[in-house]
Amino acid sequence: MKKVMLICNAGMSTGILAKKIEAASNNSLKVSAYSESEYVDYLSDIDLVLVGPQIRFLMPQIKQAISVPVHAISPVKYGMMDGKAVFEDIQKLIEV
């Protein structure tokens, strides 16, 4: 099972999106959500990191700190909490 981490300011809104992505994947993904201040403590076995639109300015710093692919979540898909669309994006980035 592939593991995807979502990072945002506090991890709360991404927690909702994480559940929707897991449901859209028929639970073929394990998706977790963390704040930008704590994510480094949970990087074990992560296959992909997705960054919330509100902190995408931190992407260079995040990319430098970790060795897995890092991508931004579309602001529209994030705002709509569209788990299915984000899951489709994930499928393009990693083999699920």
The beta-strand segments (E) located in 1-96 are 2-8, 29-35, 48-51, 70-72
Longest dimension (CA), the chain: 32
Catalytic residue (one of 5, 8, 21, 33): 8
Cα(12)–Cα(87) distance, integer angstroms: 19
Q: Is 14 a catalytic residue?
A: no
Which residues belong to the active site?
Answer: 8
